[in-house]
Amino acid sequence: MSPAAGRPRRTGRGVALAILAAALLSAFLLFDTNPRGSWEGKLVLIPKGSSLPEVARILREGGILPHPLAFRGLVLLTFSGRRLHYGEYAFPTPPSAYDAWRRLVRGDVIKYEVTVHPGANIYDVAELLEEKKLATAKEFLATAASPAILRRLEIPGESAEGYLFPDSYVFVKPVTTEEILEFMVRQFRRKVPPDAEKRAKEAGFTLHQVVTIASIIEKETGIEEEKPIVSAVIRRRLALGMPLQMDPTVIYGVKRFDGTVTGKDLRTAGPYNTYLNRGLPPGPIANPGLTAIAAALNPSNSEYLYFVSRNDGSHSFSRTLSEHNRAVEQFRRAAREDGG
């Protein structure tokens, strides 16, 4: 028999072996699972840069695939090793090797949404991250006050307060506190008008001072129409050398987050007490949104120097102290009557 005559037989044998191998692999892919009766939902975390053996080990040790050989074979056969996504995966039901492979290739990771609202301060953000189990509050606060990180991100002051832009963020584990911080600061740089620093300088301020003013505005009023007026009050008081006398700065300085201010608080010395100190506090007291930043850059033309809450979220503005005192008494009387 000639060599040519023998080739079809060897080819046929090879095809048969390939079909058998494919069938065996398919069986592994479809049936290499844990018993459903003993299954409880599981989570596994695939770190960045994990190699295929490391991924297979994590799936085995995490109880996802008792025998991940088929998973490794599928990755090798499909040349998909570079397409496996890191992150945290949930397996509410027992997956086959094929199910696990498909999930990792598609990147069906758990996504954590974090929404920072305008006016939230750095402590609020830290607590939110801890609630989401993305970081401990202590770790995040330490990162936000790291001199090396602040220098790299070009943030003046002693913390990243004011530069954690209010927005909705989606994070995937594993993520470091530095990565979270940098992502929020980058959003601040993207969203704030590119000429903000130039306009601040033209008004005699640094951008940091404008962000500080904006943070006070954000904490003083949630009514958009009032923000430029509050900005004008702050500007006028600064120009006249008057203390700002803004309660939110005092609250921030004494680390009280219940929104109340006592007489003792007002008498407590500290850099954020704008009743005792003239000028702006040393830095922002919250993370302002775009409308507050715009108001800080564009105050109204009003000549108000005082304002008092109407107890409904809005404020009454006055030009003179006597007007202000009358307004204060009026709203105090109304509050007493409502309470009585």
User: Which CATH number is 38-109 given?
Assistant: 3.30.1490.480
Residue 238 gets which letter from DSSP? H
Higher-scoring residue by pLDDT: 258, 27 = 258
Confidence label for 257 from pLDDT (cuts 50, 70 and 90): low
Tens of pLDDT along 93-109? 999 999 999 999 999 99
Q: Strands 315-318 and 306-309, how do they pair?
A: antiparallel
Cα 291 from Cα 299, distance rounded (Å): 11
Return the pLDDT at 230. 97
Tens of pLDDT along 273-322? 999 999 999 999 999 999 999 999 999 999 999 999 888 889 999 999 99
Cα 85 from Cα 174, distance rounded (Å): 12
Calculate mean pLDDT across residues 235-262: 87
CA distances from 148 to 132, 139, 143, 153, 285 (A): 26, 15, 9, 9, 21
The token pair that represents 189 in the structure block: 């740089």
170: burial class by Cβ within 10 Å (0-12, 13-18, 19+)? exposed
CA distances from 269 to 39, 251, 273, 277, 283 (A): 59, 12, 6, 9, 16
Measure the CA angle with vertex 18, ends 14 and 23; round to 5°. 150
What one-character-per-residue DSSP string does 79-97 give?
T-GGGPPPEEEEESSPPPH
Residue 93: other Cβ atoms inside 10 A = 11
Return the pLDDT at 7. 43
CA 321 vs. chain centroid, Å, equals 41
Give one word for 330, left, alpha or beta, with left for phi > 0 and alpha for psi -120 to 50. alpha
**Full-model pTM:** 0.83
Cα 123 from Cα 125, distance rounded (Å): 5
Cα 280 from Cα 234, distance rounded (Å): 9
Strand partners, 44: 89
Return the pLDDT at 25. 54
Tens of pLDDT along 186-238? 999 999 999 999 999 999 999 999 999 999 999 999 999 999 999 999 999 99
Sequence-distant (6+) residues with CB within 8 A of 190 are none
95: burial class by Cβ within 10 Å (0-12, 13-18, 19+)? buried
Return the pLDDT at 71. 94
Identity at 45, one-letter amino acid code: L
Confidence label for 258 from pLDDT (cuts 50, 70 and 90): low
The token pair that represents 262 in the structure block: 């006592």
Return the pLDDT at 16. 47
Sorted by where each begins, the domain ranges of the chain are 38-109, 112-191, 203-304
Residue 81: other Cβ atoms inside 10 A = 12
CA distances from 234 to 192, 230, 299 (A): 21, 6, 9
